[in-house]
Structure 1
Amino acid sequence: MTAAYRAASLSVLGKWLAEAGEGQRWRLVAEFLEEYRHEPEQDRLMLLGPEPLSTGDERWDVFLAGLAEYLAARADRAAPAWAERRSLRRFWFPFGSRAARADALVHSPAAFRRRGIFIAPQELGVA
């Protein structure tokens, strides 16, 4: 018997990020966003709800909260309650070139910027 396909939740993504090396993490985020985009709208918010456990890296833990808020806002919904508790004390620019930093400072979505993460929207373009 074949198991039915289910898109990964942010909680599952958090587990994957905890197990992945730094070079793999953005690919996993891109895969999550691709799956999320193909889910029916009424099912998408369920993928954001369960709170992810720590990835072992505060930056990625906060990134997951920003991603939950960002995706919920695109559906005109509030972020899951767990996401409100997560923010960084030091700014994080995941993509470090000067051009990427400048673009992120100007264009970073509010869900990330208010948590101290500066990422250009095109990095989330799959969603």
Structure 2
Amino acid sequence: MAEFLEEYRWEPAEMRAGLLDQEPTTTGDERWDVFLAALTEHLAAKDGRGAPPWVEARSLRQFWFPFNTPAARVDAVVHAPAAFRRRGVYVSAQELNVA
């Protein structure tokens, strides 16, 4: 995922939408599938676009913290981007930054 995020940032804006349009195959873990939907919506919003239709069907019924330490949980509750919060995935925005 980190490699994709890094490459996405370097793509010209007009090429980025095409990288998000096609629904990825399942990871085999619903939580990570929902994470990918949230990430797609988050990236599209940052570029001023709407998310592709495939993301709408993905959300969790129980909250999930991919980085599950007490400090990470607090940070995620406070700073999770909207696309993640509305799907029940709590990850801090800083966790999405690639070094």
Calculate the TM-score normalised by the size of structure 2: 0.97
Is 1:96 aligned with 2:68?
yes
| Residue in structure 1 matched with residue 84 of structure 2 by the alignment | 112
**Deviation beyond 2 Å, 4+ runs, structure 1:** none
Distance, in Å, in 2 between the alignment partners of 1:71 and 1:60 is 16
Gaps of 5+ in 1: 1-28
| Residue in structure 1 matched with residue 39 of structure 2 by the alignment | 67
Is 1:48 aligned with 2:48?
no
| Residue in structure 2 matched with residue 26 of structure 1 by the alignment | none
| Residue in structure 2 matched with residue 30 of structure 1 by the alignment | 2
Alignment of 1:6-25 (within 5 A): none
Shift, 1:53, TM fit: 1.5
Q: Deviations over 1:59-83 (max 9, x none)?
A: 0110110011000000111000000
Gaps of 5+ in 2: none
Residue identity matched to 1:60: W
| Residue in structure 1 matched with residue 55 of structure 2 by the alignment | 83
Question: Which is higher, the Rg of structure 1 or of structure 2?
Answer: 1
Q: Between the two proteins, what is the percent identity of the paired residues?
A: 65
Shift, 1:125, TM fit: 1.4
